[in-house]
Structure 1
């Protein structure tokens, strides 16, 4: 470790940063904290990626604090699946829909248009497939429950915001302990999906607005956001601590934090919350 640290310090200094210290945090195993003046975020990230990637990192200009607001994406962040892709499997069109999902998450397609098209393709699928999919396919990400419960115990307000669907997000939020859910809703008629949505689409701009509203309601508290796809970028950028979780390249590049290796409990480690306080 020391050779990597020394090399990273020299590289940071070559970028114009004045490194004040590089220490392993005593309360969090394998968490290395660099303290430096100057140097921009992109340059610092580049150095850390060269010397430690894959890594779990958080780049800030101050010691992290427990956030007062936590807003998270759901699919591929709090749960290990993309719900629409799994639901499409019951309609026999998973490959077709998953390709659109991947391109949307990479930022190659307009999110709202891609969502509308995928939902249209699900038209005629029996509503009972939703419950079957929930039971058989949808699994929490490792560490998700601990992350939410610990932040709540420390006084943090929690919101699950998703470009996915309330029919999945509501039970996931209840299981994990989120206090509020914002998402899209699949339209149902005569026991089948109609191929449409109820109400306005929750997209990247809505996700950002949800975070900003939660921060304002909390009196300007520090905020944490987690997500993995291009539609999470505005939310990740707006948060005090935006952590891209095993994310697509564009989301990772935009956020000031990233989890590449570990599970969601590493968010707590990056915030400096000792394991003795985890729930």
Structure 2
């Protein structure tokens, strides 16, 4: 049984739902249930038999392009593991772009960042190139950047803290840097941080990264490592926005793309395009009186 949950404009929900259900049945599926969740009355749940996720996703995308959505091949149960990207997912900025602004080269680095997130460039090579351009920048710029530029996404702390309160182990895994991620993780409530380390000598950035780079393969490996540690049957939730997050999103029980680039959005089981990060809690059916708010 396929389960689809979505949050959409209630004024047009009925008409669009009727058209979507008709199309599902035209393509061989059977809608065996449809209704709003008792726990979260803004969330519509569909039960679909004799169909597949790709077909249902395509139909719902066509009729509800502006919705928040999660599709599951089976019951939607709370995750025992929550693993997330940082830049443009848990925070509203790309740290390396903001740091580059202190060196006067934000536009140059941001263009490389965008191409890497779109999947047009090898992530590791693109990261090394960008870090190399920061050579000579004062390490003090990191703290200043954190204080002045880096802000959490709306709903980020509520999402992390609520999932923790419900028993999830939480991991922040980023192709960015511990210099930023450790502070962000502490503020939001993550249990573990995985990221890259900037090399600093004499109080300035050397233009190098220490050790191996956290790329898409590392993100996926961290997810699988945590699932193995937590035990067979652990439900995992992964969120991200760029091409570097796709292997992690695909490997998770539920992969949700947040305000994502096209490739990441297409690879995910769900998406958040309409609401803030607390929409994930709604899609999981967590009543708002159980949310641990900022």
State the Cα deviation string for residues 123-148 of structure 1 (Å, max 9, x = none). 11000000000000000000000001
Q: CA deviation at 1:39?
A: 2.1
Q: Does 1:272 align with 2:291?
A: no
Q: CA deviation at 1:25?
A: 1.2
Q: Does 1:262 align with 2:284?
A: no
Question: What pairs with 1:1-279 in structure 2 (closer than 5 Å)?
Answer: 1-220=13-232, 221-279=234-292
Structure 2, unpaired ranges of 5+: 1-12
Q: Aligned partners of 2:211 and 2:28: how far apart in 1?
A: 50
Query: Is the contact made by 2:53 and 2:73 (CA closer than 8 Å) also made in structure 1?
Result: no
Q: CA deviation at 1:30?
A: 1.9
Runs of 4+ residues deviating >4 angstroms? none
Structure 1, unpaired ranges of 5+: none
Query: Is the contact made by 1:116 and 1:196 (CA closer than 8 Å) also made in structure 2?
Result: yes
Query: Is the contact made by 2:30 and 2:48 (CA closer than 8 Å) also made in structure 1?
Result: yes
Q: CA deviation at 1:29?
A: 3.4
Q: Aligned partners of 1:246 and 1:239: how far apart in 2?
A: 18
Counterpart for residue 5 of structure 2: none
Q: CA deviation at 1:3?
A: 1.2
What do you get for the CA RMSD once the two structures are aligned?
0.8
3-state SS of 1:186 partner? strand
